[in-house]
Amino acid sequence: MKLFDPTKTLEDLTGLRAGDPDVAETPLIEWVIRSWKKPLCDLSDDEIGRLVMQRDGFPYILDLVWPKLENNPLFDGGYYPGDVLSSFLRCEPEVWAARPNYRAQLASLYQRALNSGPEENEAFRASLDLPGEGGMIS
């Protein structure tokens, strides 16, 4: 089921104006504003990852990133393998209000990420303060 038009920007989809990136107070704010002005289908993995980390552009960013997570739970949003999933595991309940079906899939994605090899999931485990491959997870 297609939930939104990926050729639209976050500004188009929300009706909110992000402002002028050239007068942004910080480089991060400038970056977020520029991302809001790009069609969603043109956002890079790093841009998607950064929006997730900033908890910005939901629920549209959820719809955009979820197929990537289903394909690879350790999808790298520009920081480390598994950064997006790690961020979602820490999200406030409000993030899932519009897309509870995604919240219901988190446990499965988490297990798949843990079951990947230690070379692939080391940074993911560290981000969650989990022991290495040989340790017990409670």
Q: Tens of pLDDT along 2-60?
A: 567 899 999 999 999 999 999 999 999 999 999 999 999 999 999 999 999 999 999 99
Q: Which residues are within 8 A (CB) of 51 and not within 5 positions of it... i.e. 6 or more apart? A: 32, 35, 43, 57, 61
| Predicted confidence band of residue 133 (pLDDT cuts 50, 70, 90) | low
Higher pLDDT, 64 or 136: 64
Residue 64 has pLDDT above 50, yes or no: yes
What percent of the chain has a predicted confidence (pLDDT) above 90?
79
The answer, yes or no, to whether residue 108 has pLDDT greater than 90, is yes
As a 3-state breakdown, the chain gives helix, strand, coil percent values, each rounded to 5, of 55, 0, 40
53-71: average pLDDT? 94
What pLDDT does 137 receive?
39
Q: What's the pLDDT score for residue 89?
A: 93
What integer is the mean pLDDT of 115-125? 88
- Predicted pLDDT of residue 114: 92
Residue pair 61/48 in contact by the 8 Å Cβ criterion: yes
